[in-house]
Amino acid sequence: MDKNLMKKTSIFCCILLMMVLSVISIFGKTPSKNQTNMSGVEMLNFYTRQAKEEQEEIVEGKVRIKMPEGIGRGDIRINNDYVNQTVTIHVPETSEKFYYNYPLVGSSDYIQDLSYGFKDGKASIKIILDSVYEHIIEFRDDYLYLSFVEPKSLYDKIVVIDAGHGGTEPGKPAGDILEKNINLDIVLKLKKMLDNTDIRVYYTRLKDENPSFFHRVNLANATKANMFISIHNNSNESYIHGTQVLWNEKKKYKGLGTFELSQILLDEAVKSMGSKDMGLIDGNEAAYIVRTAEVPASIIEVGFMTNDAELANLLTDEYQQKAAQGIYNGILRAFEEGF
Ligand SMILES: [Zn+2]
């Protein structure tokens, strides 16, 4: 081989090597084809291992999320959807490339799945959790640190309130009046009162939607709530009226449980509304909620929508307020009595 050709070949090889190296350095942080088939959690663990190898600071038990330049605490919106065990972090002014270059790293404890969404220059990072957790946020340098804790570690008193039915599931209709709307109206009035207490309340719904029975009960079981109260309205022959509470006879045990809670709620609701006491009903067979709840649970049937006079009452703000007040008084009394 002549000298000139050797020189040319070595220069060519050098350039080729440099190109290969620069491609590796540009894409060094991105997973190989094999790795792109990884789940969100596998990706998180992959980048976390890589960050540790590069001596980056990883805080134990926390997820680290890089913030784009100029984005601070006030710009970030975090939504914790407790019913669906999903935390979504909304980051403005972000390109898809940004989280491609700076993927999440940190602890995958409690995380079931993780995904990134991009729309109109905004990123949304969706984290699906393996149970119901409160999230704690911390800003340091250019990072948001996110950790998850069990509600019971933050709150002594936890109540789950369920507005029966919703969305495509109307409940009992009385003409064009739907049970789901009355249930929600009462819950929204109850919420106003509970907002001023030290009780942490989780609601299965605060709008016209229909979470599954599983998700409704899960909210109470996963948060280890002190009590779970589901609010409904009833139907029967038109002459029947009054208030009933469903409990679970199979879960009657010594101490404070579904029976004691249901009796307190019935007493307080009847007293506040002046309605007829229609007693406690065993709901074990019929009602998924009281059957599957692992915490003291009651379904309060506020009134009968099939009774004209009671239905007229149930449609007024005043009577709904009395119903909410009765349930509220019942919750406070239950805590006083040791729930
Ligand atoms: Zn109902």
Which of 149, 169, 187 represents a domain boundary (last residue)?
A: 149
Domain of 169? 153-336
Residue 5 banded pLDDT, cuts 50, 70, 90:
low
**171 Cα: distance to centroid of ligand 1 (angstroms):** 5
- Rg of the chain over Cα atoms, rounded to whole angstroms, equals 28
CATH code for the domain of 157 = 3.40.630.40
Q: What is the pLDDT of residues 126-183, one digit of tens each?
A: 999 999 999 999 999 899 999 999 999 999 999 999 999 999 999 988 888 999 999 9
**71 Cα: distance to centroid of ligand 1 (angstroms):** 46
**66 Cα: distance to centroid of ligand 1 (angstroms):** 46
Q: What is the pLDDT of residues 236-292, one digit of tens each?
A: 999 999 999 999 999 887 789 999 999 999 999 999 999 999 999 999 878 899 999
**123 Cα: distance to centroid of ligand 1 (angstroms):** 39
User: Does 7 fall in a domain?
Assistant: no
Mind giving me the DSSP string for 71-133?
--GGG-EEEEETTTTEEEEEESS--HHHHHHS--EE--TTEEEEEEEEETTEEEEEEEESS--
Question: Do 319 and 242 fall into the same domain?
Answer: yes
Question: Do 325 and 207 fall into the same domain?
Answer: yes
Question: Do 219 and 318 fall into the same domain?
Answer: yes
| Count of the separate structural domains present in the chain | 2
User: Does 11 fall in a domain?
Assistant: no
User: Does 14 fall in a domain?
Assistant: no
Query: What per-residue confidence (pLDDT) applies to 27?
Result: 41
User: Does 23 fall in a domain?
Assistant: no
Cα–Cα distance, 122 to 124 (Å, whole number):
7
User: Does 310 fall in a domain?
Assistant: yes
User: Does 134 fall in a domain?
Assistant: yes
208 vs 194, 238, 316, CA distance in Å? 20, 27, 19
Do 178 and 208 form a contact (C-beta atoms < 8 A)? no
**320 Cα: distance to centroid of ligand 1 (angstroms):** 16
Question: Do 71 and 209 fall into the same domain?
Answer: no
What is the percent of the chain where pLDDT is above 70? 89
**182 Cα: distance to centroid of ligand 1 (angstroms):** 10
